[in-house]
Amino acid sequence: MTLLGEILQMFHDDEFNSIFKQMSNSFMNLDDVFEMLKNAGNVTGPIFYGYTMTTGPDGKPVVNEYGNVKPDMLPTEEKREPLIDTLVDEKEKTLKIVAEMPGVEKSDVNVVVGADRVIHIDAERGEKKYHVKVPINHKVESGSPKATYKNGILELVFKLEDEKSNGTTVNVL
């Protein structure tokens, strides 16, 4: 191997090790949070944290966190954040939001679509308590939401606004 090749290999190895150490540190910090919670003694129920990584419509990565504890934070309320998935169907012109909330009934679920384009989802039955705010990043028709709840799965479906209908055609005389 040439000297330049060895230097490039060392740089690549150092860069890889640096990234790996950063990732390991974030998981170790999370382990510390879980250990603190375990020793606190007054926390009940499962404790979880996670994230999903997807590619946004602009091709850039989108990271969404979920869970009832975030790194470096203790849980402040007894409500859990349900797992959320957002699906855009360009062919059908729909936006579907799916929330997993096992242990509650249809009558326990409350969904509010705010004027700020944020969906507030709440549900409570006994010790099962859920809350999440889901931002809507697409233009949707205001009267279009439809919701179903079956077997612990809430599905919200919105019709996407037709981008061509953003204006009114004016005839020139």
Q: What is the pLDDT of residue 75?
A: 47
Domain shared by 140 and 104, yes or no? yes
Q: Mean pLDDT throughout 26-33?
A: 58
Confidence category of residue 22, pLDDT binned at 50, 70, 90: low
Asked, for residue 170, whether it belongs to a domain, the answer is no
Q: Considering 42, 76, 110, which residue would you say is the last residue of a domain?
A: 76
Residue 14: is its pLDDT beyond 50? yes
Q: Establish if 122 belongs to a structural domain.
A: yes
What is the pLDDT, as a whole number, of residue 20?
A: 59
Q: Determine the pLDDT at residue 45.
A: 60
Same domain, 37 and 13: yes
DSSP assignments along the chain, one per residue: --HHHHHHHHHHHHHHHHHHHHHHHHHHHHHHHHHHHHHHS---S---EEEEEEE-TTS-EEEEEEES--TT----SSPBPPEEEEEEETTTTEEEEEEE-TT--GGGEEEEE-TTSEEEEEEEETTEEEEEEEE--S-B-TT--EEEEETTEEEEEEEBPPGGGSS------
pLDDT of res. 49: 72
Report the pLDDT value the prediction gives residue 138, as an integer from 0 to 100: 82
* 139 touches 161 (CB < 8 A): yes
- Which of 76, 111, 130 marks a domain boundary? 76
* Predicted TM-score (pTM) of this structure: 0.53
Neighbours of 19 (CB within 10 A): 10
Residue of 146, 173, 172, 150 whose CA lies nearest to 159: 146
Mean pLDDT in residue range 147-169: 81
Residue with tokens 């028709």: 141
Same-domain status, 66 and 93: no
Map tokens 């090749």 to a residue: 5
Do the Cβ atoms of 98 and 87 come closer than 8 Å?
Answer: yes
Do 117 and 156 reside in the same domain of the chain?
yes
Which of the four pLDDT bands, split at 50, 70 and 90, describes residue 39? low
The proportion of the chain whose per-residue pLDDT surpasses 90, expressed as a percent, equals: 22
Of 46-60, 109-123, 151-165, highest mean pLDDT: 109-123
CATH number assigned to the domain comprising residue 91: 2.60.40.790
Domain containing 60 equals: 1-76
**97 and 145 housed in the same domain:** yes
